[in-house]
Amino acid sequence: GVKDYKLTYYTPEYETKDTDILAAFRVTPQLGVPP
């Protein structure tokens, strides 16, 4: 869910996995998440 993505988004250690997804989310405006 959104909360899960917030945790992974703010967890540097998680960058080793799903890097492309994080990169996509960083470019794509997230609901409730400031750019």
CA torsion 4-15-32-2 (nearest 10°) is -20
Residue pLDDT tens, the chain, 35 long: 566 666 656 666 655 556 666 666 666 666 666 65
Segments making up each domain of the chain, as ranges: 1-35
Q: Are 8 and 23 in contact (CB under 8 A)?
A: no
- Is the pTM higher than 0.75? The answer reads no
Helix %, strand %, coil % of the chain (to 5): 65, 5, 30
